[in-house]
Chain A
Amino acid sequence: MLQYVVDGLVLGATIGLGAVGLTLTYAILRFANFTHGELLTVGAYLTHGLLALITGLLGAEAVAALGRIGPLGFGWPLVLALLLAIPLTGLVALLIDALLFARLRGHGAAITLVIASFGAALALRHLVVVAYGPNPDYFSRAIPIALTVVPREILGGARLTPDQMAVLALAAVAVLGLHLLLTRTTIGRAMRAVAESPTLAAVIGIEVRKVVRWTWLIGGGLACLAGVFLGLTVQIRPQMGFDLLLPLFAASILGGIGSPLGAVLGGLLIGLAESLAVPLIGADYRAAVAFAVLILVLLLRPQGLLGRAG
């Protein structure tokens, strides 16, 4: 029982981080971005590619000599690759915006952007297949050894691999950093203002274009982090982001569109619900859980947990 809770929290942390970018772009650019799931995929594959590049530059022996970090399944090269991939994924998001969304924002309804994002998502996902092939991959071939976190006597106990613990810790750090950014920095406050009302924000002299740029960078960066988390705890596949898209939407709507902390909370709840549903309805239908939660939210509280009515 407790094991399902712990597994759900790990998955939920990934969904939550991924949903932050989705909820921000939704609130600031005012459209449901179906490309967001692919940003997770792109981030994971960029990290994977950079890791191969770093390994190639240093030589396999040198990397092996560096070893892994403590009990973790990966070493410093992965951390370096991730730190490089985070801004790069943000740039990819900016590039998609410049090529496609920015051109459509001017004329036509916002819903045209949704179609464009749907098309861009499929194109991007299959571009990954063209570049990497369709087969799944892993960041590390090390066999993870799960450690007992809660002894078996208490509710069946819980075990976590060191990588899963790292994911939970890093997710907490990322959320804290995001919270500080949004509440203590000028650009963060400007982002919240634009999310609230773009017109009013422009009237009081906020540079909306700059805010849009930062939204893509931050949303893309967090998506990259979530993608790598997913790669560390599950695997890397071209489908990975697309399969997570419904949970991401469900998390942002559950948390309340435009609320980053709501998205994290929503993500954790969706992760828990998916994991706890496994003993009830079987693993085959776990993907339907996010849909069920989504329908319930739309039915009972369409503005979400932390969102405002209207």
Chain B
Amino acid sequence: MSQAARRSIQDMGFEDKASIKEAARPVQQSATRARIEIQGVHKRYVSRKSTFEALRDINLSLGSNEFLTILGPSGCGKSTLLRMVAGLDEPTEGQLLIDGEEIHGPGADRGMVFQGYTLFPWLTVRENIEYGPKLQGMPTLERRSLSNHWLSVIRLEQFAQAYPKQLSGGMKQRVAIARALANRPKVLLMDEPFGALDAQTKQEMQEMLLEVWEREKTTVLFITHDIDEAIFLSQRIVVMGTGPGHLAAEYEVKLPEGRTADVREHPDFLALKRELSHLLKH
């Protein structure tokens, strides 16, 4: 993946290819201030016998209200990078900032939706959504109306009193998204949240997520190895390569807002998909 590229797909082919360094600079820095900054991050696992380099010199900024996807094959370290932003993992070198402050450990400002199912099985759907606000000491009535709002957003009002074990995989992830967003994080981190779902459910979830993102204008950092998913959801895609994990290319996705399933037929969508498939094959 030597030929790093940065382009918007609307004017694809008219813009010059840029270097990796330039690619790593945020596209919209002038428009919105950076929420998350990843600066010169390396990750090495050192054992007595050998050293494994998982991530090499990652530089990336995520703007406010941006939907950024990190796209990469399995084993490229994208999940590790996301966990560092969440504060669940530490970089060996370099630093990560949120609103200019260095990240140390996890916190309520960075909500996360995990790949596996992480709803608290002993809490009902409503209680799961209210978990974060309850910890912050939000009064019961306020909490109730907040969870009502999110139950309606994810269209699971009739499941308010259900326990997670009674929900399908897609429903569980919907609740997980609502639980994270009800806590009003500055950034929503999503680690292949739809990876375990069937194709149909996956598409429904993507549409719902976009709807929520457009309405709530949250900042999202999304991880996936699914090219379609990355293009459909994102404003910007950062492609990662393996051995060791590094940023290989960056693309701006200039598809219209309010995307629906039809956008998958859009020539720009298909062109970008072709290019990304090509890139990931190498």
Q: Does B bind A? A: no
Binding site for A on B (CB under 8 A): none
Binding site for B on A (CB under 8 A): none
